[in-house]
Amino acid sequence: MSSEDIESGSDALLVAEDEAYSKGLKARHIQMIAVGGAIGTGLFLGAGSRLNIAGPFLAVLYAIAGFFAFIVVRALGELVIYRPTSGSFVSYAREFMGEKGAYVSGWMYFLVWATGGIADITAVAIYTQYWSIFEGVPQWIVALIAMLFVLAINLSAVKYFGETEYWAAMIKVAAIVIFLAIGTFTLAKRDISGREFSGVQMISENGGILPHGLIAAIIVLPGVVFAYAALEMVSIAAG
């Protein structure tokens, strides 16, 4: 088989990936899917324990991870402009790395979300334990309901999926703004409990920037990277 035949077959496969798909997401949906992916459970649920381990240096870790996340999203954006596709970045792996590269990247991505999805569903069940309305309800029941809800949204029409993602991301953005406002007030004025002052001296008096050393900060780095998971969905949604 000649190289021309192989190239022709690859082109036909790339075209077949986009057949029978319609583009139902608007620009605002895609934008908020990316924003919502950057502020997921890795930030809301995991930030407290990471801050306890890494100390104030956690902000530096988030900045470093955010820089590399920006590069990844920028690269994916270039690929989307080059050739929009419904096959996600696996389609690009097939084009530039061959079938083996597409196979490996596709299954690795599946495993990432298979395990990450479990973490997200578990986080939902943990959140609800702080609400009195769910008092006495086993966590596995809440997790099952959340999983069925997510499944229903993903099986629905694309426009409904986009709207759900859009408003869910807006809620998370609003929560972040509220957190920042409360945190700024606490640092500028007084601890909410009124028992002690907060400020820069709280850092210097409790171990400094790295209270448990650099190794402890490096240990939490994978969790920091996990907080940016789902940013790559902008390439999938844009196709």
For 108-155, write each residue's pLDDT tens digit. Answer: 888 888 888 888 888 888 888 888 888 888 988 999 999 999 889 888
The verdict on residue 148 lying in a domain is no
Q: Residue 65 belongs to what domain range?
A: 25-114+158-238
Site of tokens 């709207």: 163
The verdict on residue 71 lying in a domain is yes
For the chain, how many structural domains are there in total? 1
The verdict on residue 33 lying in a domain is yes
Distance CA 63, CA 32 (A): 20
pLDDT at 239: 56
For 83-116, write each residue's pLDDT tens digit. Answer: 777 667 788 888 888 888 889 988 988 888 888 8
The verdict on residue 128 lying in a domain is no
Model pTM score: 0.72
The verdict on residue 3 lying in a domain is no
Mean pLDDT of 22-29: 75
pLDDT at 78: 84
The verdict on residue 192 lying in a domain is yes
pLDDT at 190: 61
Contacts of residue 22, defined as CB under 8 A and 6 or more positions apart, other chains included, come to 158
Mean pLDDT of 60-80: 86
For 167-209, write each residue's pLDDT tens digit. Answer: 988 988 898 899 888 878 877 776 555 555 556 666 766 667 8
Average of per-residue pLDDT values in the chain = 79
pLDDT at 21: 58
pLDDT at 145: 92
Distance CA 99, CA 45 (A): 38
The verdict on residue 152 lying in a domain is no
The verdict on residue 41 lying in a domain is yes
- pLDDT for residue 10 is more than 80: no
